[in-house]
Amino acid sequence: MSNLKFPIMKEKKNFVEKAEGIRKQVSEYKIHSMYDYMSEHDRLFNPNPELHDFVVSFQHLVYAFDNHLPLNTEISKLSSLKFCGDNVPVIEKEKDEVLKYIDFFISYLKEYSV
C-alpha cells in the first residue's frame, strides 16, 4: 500500500500535495512483465500490484476531497485496469491513463477549487 497519508483538514494545498505525491510514484514506477517473475508464483499473474495500490490511494483522495465530484465516477473505471501480461506497452498505456486522471485532478484543484 502507498505510504501517503490522507490530510485531516480539507485544505486544497494538502490535496494538491498528496495528488502530486501519488503522481510521482506512478510516473516513476518501473513496469514489469509477467515474465519478470516466472519464478514467483504470487507475482506471476499480478506483476505490478503497487500500481493497483496507487490507483486505490488516488480514488480515496478524490473521494475525500469531494464525494460528489463527477470525477469519482470516471476514476472508478481505473479499478478494472489489470497492469499485467507480457505486453509492456499496453501496461504503460494503462499507467498513462492513471496519470491522465491524476493530472486532471491536480489541474482542477489548482484552477477551480476554493
pLDDT in tens, 82-93: 888 778 899 899
16/8 Cα distance (integer angstroms): 14
Residue 7 pLDDT grade (very low, low, confident, very high; cuts 50, 70, 90): very low
Mean pLDDT computed over every residue of the chain: 85
Give the integer Cα–Cα distance in Å for 36 and 21.
Answer: 27
What pTM value is reported for the model?
0.83
